[in-house]
Amino acid sequence: LPVAGKTVFEHLICEIPFARLFLSLGFGSEKVVSFLDDHKINGEYSIESKPLGSFGGLKSTVVKFRESLSQDIIVILGDVFVFDLMTDIRNIHSDRNSVLYSKNDHPFDSDRVIVKANGCVTGLIPKTSSITSEISNTTVSGLYVFRKKDILESPLSEGDIGMDFLPMLIEKGDVEAVRLTGVMKDVGSIERLNKIG
Protein backbone atom coordinates (compact mmCIF):
# COMPACT_ATOMS: atom_id res chain seq x y z
CA LEU A 1 0.00 0.00 0.00
CA PRO A 2 1.61 3.28 -1.07
CA VAL A 3 1.96 6.26 1.28
CA ALA A 4 4.13 9.30 0.46
CA GLY A 5 6.14 7.55 -2.22
CA LYS A 6 6.86 4.34 -0.27
CA THR A 7 4.86 1.34 0.80
CA VAL A 8 3.56 1.11 4.37
CA PHE A 9 6.00 -1.80 4.83
CA GLU A 10 8.97 0.33 3.66
CA HIS A 11 8.02 3.05 6.13
CA LEU A 12 7.95 0.43 8.89
CA ILE A 13 11.38 -1.02 8.16
CA CYS A 14 12.96 2.41 7.58
CA GLU A 15 11.55 3.72 10.83
CA ILE A 16 12.64 0.90 13.12
CA PRO A 17 16.38 0.17 13.04
CA PHE A 18 16.13 -3.55 13.62
CA ALA A 19 18.96 -5.91 14.44
CA ARG A 20 17.04 -8.71 12.79
CA LEU A 21 13.67 -8.68 11.07
CA PHE A 22 11.20 -11.52 11.58
CA LEU A 23 7.85 -11.55 9.80
CA SER A 24 4.72 -13.50 10.49
CA LEU A 25 2.93 -13.85 7.18
CA GLY A 26 -0.42 -15.19 6.06
CA PHE A 27 -2.67 -14.17 3.20
CA GLY A 28 -0.71 -12.46 0.41
CA SER A 29 2.63 -13.63 1.81
CA GLU A 30 4.07 -14.16 -1.68
CA LYS A 31 3.93 -10.39 -2.28
CA VAL A 32 5.90 -9.68 0.89
CA VAL A 33 8.48 -12.38 0.15
CA SER A 34 8.90 -11.03 -3.38
CA PHE A 35 9.29 -7.51 -1.97
CA LEU A 36 12.02 -8.70 0.43
CA ASP A 37 13.87 -10.38 -2.43
CA ASP A 38 13.48 -7.46 -4.86
CA HIS A 39 14.73 -4.91 -2.31
CA LYS A 40 17.44 -7.18 -0.88
CA ILE A 41 16.00 -6.88 2.62
CA ASN A 42 17.42 -9.45 4.97
CA GLY A 43 14.48 -10.82 6.88
CA GLU A 44 13.32 -14.18 8.19
CA TYR A 45 9.70 -15.19 7.95
CA SER A 46 7.17 -17.87 8.75
CA ILE A 47 4.02 -18.40 6.73
CA GLU A 48 0.80 -19.64 8.28
CA SER A 49 -0.68 -22.74 6.68
CA LYS A 50 -4.07 -21.64 8.08
CA PRO A 51 -5.21 -18.35 9.66
CA LEU A 52 -3.96 -18.22 13.26
CA GLY A 53 -4.76 -14.62 14.23
CA SER A 54 -2.22 -12.00 15.21
CA PHE A 55 -1.09 -13.84 18.34
CA GLY A 56 -1.05 -17.27 16.71
CA GLY A 57 1.13 -15.94 13.89
CA LEU A 58 3.43 -14.23 16.38
CA LYS A 59 3.78 -17.35 18.50
CA SER A 60 4.49 -19.64 15.55
CA THR A 61 7.20 -17.21 14.39
CA VAL A 62 8.72 -17.03 17.87
CA VAL A 63 8.68 -20.83 18.16
CA LYS A 64 10.36 -21.19 14.76
CA PHE A 65 13.09 -18.61 15.47
CA ARG A 66 13.34 -18.83 19.27
CA GLU A 67 17.12 -19.34 19.28
CA SER A 68 17.71 -16.22 17.14
CA LEU A 69 15.37 -13.88 19.02
CA SER A 70 16.32 -11.63 21.93
CA GLN A 71 14.49 -11.84 25.25
CA ASP A 72 12.49 -8.70 24.42
CA ILE A 73 10.74 -8.61 21.06
CA ILE A 74 9.41 -5.47 19.39
CA VAL A 75 6.11 -6.41 17.74
CA ILE A 76 4.51 -4.12 15.16
CA LEU A 77 1.25 -5.00 13.45
CA GLY A 78 1.37 -4.74 9.67
CA ASP A 79 -1.60 -2.40 9.25
CA VAL A 80 -0.01 0.67 10.80
CA PHE A 81 1.87 3.66 9.43
CA VAL A 82 4.62 4.86 11.75
CA PHE A 83 6.87 7.87 12.13
CA ASP A 84 9.36 8.88 14.84
CA LEU A 85 8.87 5.93 17.19
CA MET A 86 12.41 5.16 18.30
CA THR A 87 12.33 7.61 21.22
CA ASP A 88 9.29 5.79 22.57
CA ILE A 89 10.91 2.38 22.14
CA ARG A 90 14.14 3.55 23.80
CA ASN A 91 12.11 4.86 26.74
CA ILE A 92 10.86 1.38 27.61
CA HIS A 93 12.90 0.24 30.60
CA SER A 94 10.73 -2.35 32.20
CA ASP A 95 10.93 -5.99 33.05
CA ARG A 96 7.24 -6.23 32.17
CA ASN A 97 5.56 -6.51 28.79
CA SER A 98 4.77 -3.13 27.26
CA VAL A 99 1.94 -1.79 25.16
CA LEU A 100 2.25 1.60 23.50
CA TYR A 101 -0.96 3.58 23.48
CA SER A 102 -2.13 6.79 21.87
CA LYS A 103 -5.25 8.77 21.10
CA ASN A 104 -6.93 8.20 17.76
CA ASP A 105 -9.94 9.50 15.90
CA HIS A 106 -11.86 6.21 16.15
CA PRO A 107 -11.47 5.05 19.79
CA PHE A 108 -14.79 3.23 19.96
CA ASP A 109 -13.84 0.73 17.29
CA SER A 110 -10.36 0.20 18.73
CA ASP A 111 -9.03 -1.79 21.69
CA ARG A 112 -8.35 0.54 24.64
CA VAL A 113 -6.38 0.01 27.83
CA ILE A 114 -7.15 1.19 31.34
CA VAL A 115 -3.95 2.69 32.74
CA LYS A 116 -3.17 3.53 36.37
CA ALA A 117 -1.10 6.60 37.27
CA ASN A 118 1.99 4.38 37.70
CA GLY A 119 1.67 3.13 34.10
CA CYS A 120 0.35 -0.32 35.00
CA VAL A 121 -2.38 -1.63 32.70
CA THR A 122 -5.30 -2.85 34.78
CA GLY A 123 -7.81 -3.63 32.09
CA LEU A 124 -8.61 -3.85 28.41
CA ILE A 125 -11.72 -2.59 26.70
CA PRO A 126 -12.06 -4.48 23.41
CA LYS A 127 -13.49 -2.76 20.38
CA THR A 128 -16.50 -5.05 20.68
CA SER A 129 -17.39 -3.50 24.06
CA SER A 130 -20.41 -1.27 24.53
CA ILE A 131 -18.40 0.94 26.93
CA THR A 132 -17.81 4.27 25.21
CA SER A 133 -17.14 7.77 26.50
CA GLU A 134 -16.59 7.06 30.19
CA ILE A 135 -13.16 5.61 29.41
CA SER A 136 -10.45 7.89 28.10
CA ASN A 137 -9.01 7.53 24.62
CA THR A 138 -6.07 5.27 25.49
CA THR A 139 -6.04 3.29 22.29
CA VAL A 140 -3.75 0.32 21.76
CA SER A 141 -1.47 1.43 18.95
CA GLY A 142 -0.39 -1.91 17.44
CA LEU A 143 3.14 -1.59 18.84
CA TYR A 144 4.26 -3.82 21.70
CA VAL A 145 7.38 -5.04 23.41
CA PHE A 146 6.79 -8.58 24.61
CA ARG A 147 9.06 -10.92 26.54
CA LYS A 148 9.87 -14.00 24.52
CA LYS A 149 9.26 -16.31 27.48
CA ASP A 150 5.69 -15.02 27.94
CA ILE A 151 4.88 -15.69 24.30
CA LEU A 152 6.34 -19.19 24.47
CA GLU A 153 4.68 -20.03 27.80
CA SER A 154 1.24 -18.91 26.67
CA PRO A 155 -1.20 -21.82 26.30
CA LEU A 156 -2.62 -20.12 23.21
CA SER A 157 -1.58 -21.34 19.78
CA GLU A 158 -3.92 -19.03 17.89
CA GLY A 159 -6.00 -15.96 18.57
CA ASP A 160 -5.67 -12.21 18.69
CA ILE A 161 -2.98 -10.22 20.53
CA GLY A 162 -5.46 -7.67 21.87
CA MET A 163 -8.45 -9.85 22.63
CA ASP A 164 -6.71 -13.05 23.75
CA PHE A 165 -3.05 -12.58 24.77
CA LEU A 166 -3.11 -9.12 26.40
CA PRO A 167 -5.93 -9.99 28.84
CA MET A 168 -3.88 -12.93 30.13
CA LEU A 169 -0.86 -10.70 30.75
CA ILE A 170 -3.02 -7.97 32.33
CA GLU A 171 -4.59 -10.48 34.70
CA LYS A 172 -1.07 -11.34 35.94
CA GLY A 173 -0.31 -7.61 36.42
CA ASP A 174 2.43 -7.91 33.85
CA VAL A 175 1.77 -5.10 31.36
CA GLU A 176 2.93 -1.50 31.45
CA ALA A 177 1.54 1.23 29.24
CA VAL A 178 3.83 3.67 27.46
CA ARG A 179 2.38 6.85 25.95
CA LEU A 180 3.21 7.05 22.27
CA THR A 181 4.72 10.40 21.29
CA GLY A 182 5.61 9.43 17.73
CA VAL A 183 3.06 9.00 14.96
CA MET A 184 1.22 5.74 14.43
CA LYS A 185 -1.85 5.61 12.24
CA ASP A 186 -4.15 2.67 11.62
CA VAL A 187 -4.27 2.03 7.86
CA GLY A 188 -6.32 -1.13 8.11
CA SER A 189 -9.06 0.24 5.87
CA ILE A 190 -9.11 2.19 2.61
CA GLU A 191 -10.71 5.18 4.35
CA ARG A 192 -7.96 5.32 6.99
CA LEU A 193 -5.22 4.82 4.42
CA ASN A 194 -6.59 7.68 2.33
CA LYS A 195 -6.54 9.99 5.36
CA ILE A 196 -2.74 9.80 5.58
CA GLY A 197 -2.03 9.48 1.83
Task: Please write the tens of the pLDDT for every residue from 137-189.
Answer: 677 778 899 999 999 999 999 999 988 999 999 999 999 988 888 666 666 66
Task: Please write the tens of the pLDDT for every residue from 91-110.
Answer: 776 788 998 887 666 555 66
Question: How much is the pLDDT for 29?
Answer: 93
Cβ-contact 180, 102 below 8 angstroms: yes
pTM for the model: 0.84
What secondary structure letter does DSSP report for 155?
S
Q: How far is CA 149 from CA 61, 63, 128, 175, in A?
A: 13, 10, 29, 14
Cβ-contact 131, 61 below 8 angstroms: no
Question: How much is the pLDDT for 157?
Answer: 96
Q: Which residue has the higher pLDDT, 99 or 133?
A: 99
Residues of the chain above pLDDT 90, percent:
37
Q: In the chain, where do the E strands start and end?
A: 2-3, 6-7, 21-25, 43-47, 72-76, 80-83, 97-102, 112-115, 121-125, 139-147, 175-179, 183-186
